[in-house]
């Protein structure tokens, strides 16, 4: 028996508690330019119907924090297998409810602090609008990073760390490779981006 929140619990209950994680789900391309409009209240309800707890949304761009038991991962599965299983579950529920196929990126909330701390452009930007992070499904292949860097206009900075692409855009997003959807159209990568202020907020949801 152990004491948890003032109550004695059987040791048999510990795995569920220990495996409970807080995750961040990032939906791609919703509520932008009048396309793929989804109300956050409805999206929150979909997550709650999946059995997730403490569901919180942030602004209308599709940012959701939630608690759930970490999916079981078998030996030999990929390091990101738990997130991949959650992603599939969420994408299926969204398609069923909204009749739309919307890519979702999942991260453990604890990883957001590492993303913030690892910013290679720290101290080089004055506004959160200059700094963006793209979240990828898997690490970017070296040859695609080379293509990106070769195509980048002077002044734009791109650095990959793990499954995140840091984008330093001093002249803004609109005329940048990011604004022109270069990664999706030319490199055929599944990504969703957030500006620095939003990434900071994700760590606190």
DSSP E strand boundaries for 28-146: 53-58, 63-69, 104-108, 131-136
Structural domain boundaries enclosing 61: 2-109
Q: Are residues 145 and 77 in the same domain?
A: no
Q: Residue 189's domain is classified under what CATH number?
A: 3.30.70
pTM, two decimal places? 0.87
What pLDDT score does 79 carry?
A: 87
What pLDDT score does 18 carry?
A: 52
**What does the pLDDT read at residue 20?**
86
- In this predicted model, what pLDDT tens digit does every residue of 48-83 receive, in sequence order? 999 999 999 999 989 999 999 999 888 888 889 999
For 155-182, how does the pLDDT look when each residue is reduced to its tens digit (9 = 90+)?
A: 999 999 999 999 999 998 988 999 999 9
Looking at the structure, do residues 98 and 135 belong to the same domain, yes or no? Answer: no
Total count of domains within the chain: 2
Residue 65 in 3-state DSSP? strand
């Amino acid at each position: 028996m152990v004491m948890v929140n003032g109550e004695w619990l059987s040791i048999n209950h510990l795995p569920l508690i220990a495996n409970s994680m807080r995750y961040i789900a990032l939906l791609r391309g919703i509520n932008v330019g009048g396309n793929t409009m989804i109300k956050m209240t409805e999206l929150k309800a979909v997550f709650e119907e999946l059995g997730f707890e403490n569901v919180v949304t942030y602004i209308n761009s599709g940012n959701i924090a939630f608690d759930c038991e970490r999916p079981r991962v078998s030996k030999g599965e990929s390091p990101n297998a738990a997130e991949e299983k959650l992603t599939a579950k969420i994408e299926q529920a969204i398609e069923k409810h909204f009749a739309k196929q919307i890519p979702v990126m999942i991260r453990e909330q604890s990883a957001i602090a590492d993303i913030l701390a690892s910013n290679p452009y720290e101290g080089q930007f004055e506004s959160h609008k200059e700094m963006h992070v793209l979240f990828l499904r898997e690490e970017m292949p070296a040859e695609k990073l080379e293509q990106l860097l070769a195509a980048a206009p002077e002044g734009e900075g791109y650095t990959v760390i793990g499954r995140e692409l840091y984008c330093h855009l001093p002249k803004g997003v609109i005329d940048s490779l990011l604004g022109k959807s270069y990664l999706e159209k030319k490199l055929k990568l599944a990504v969703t981006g957030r500006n620095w202020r939003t990434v900071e907020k994700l760590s606190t949801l």
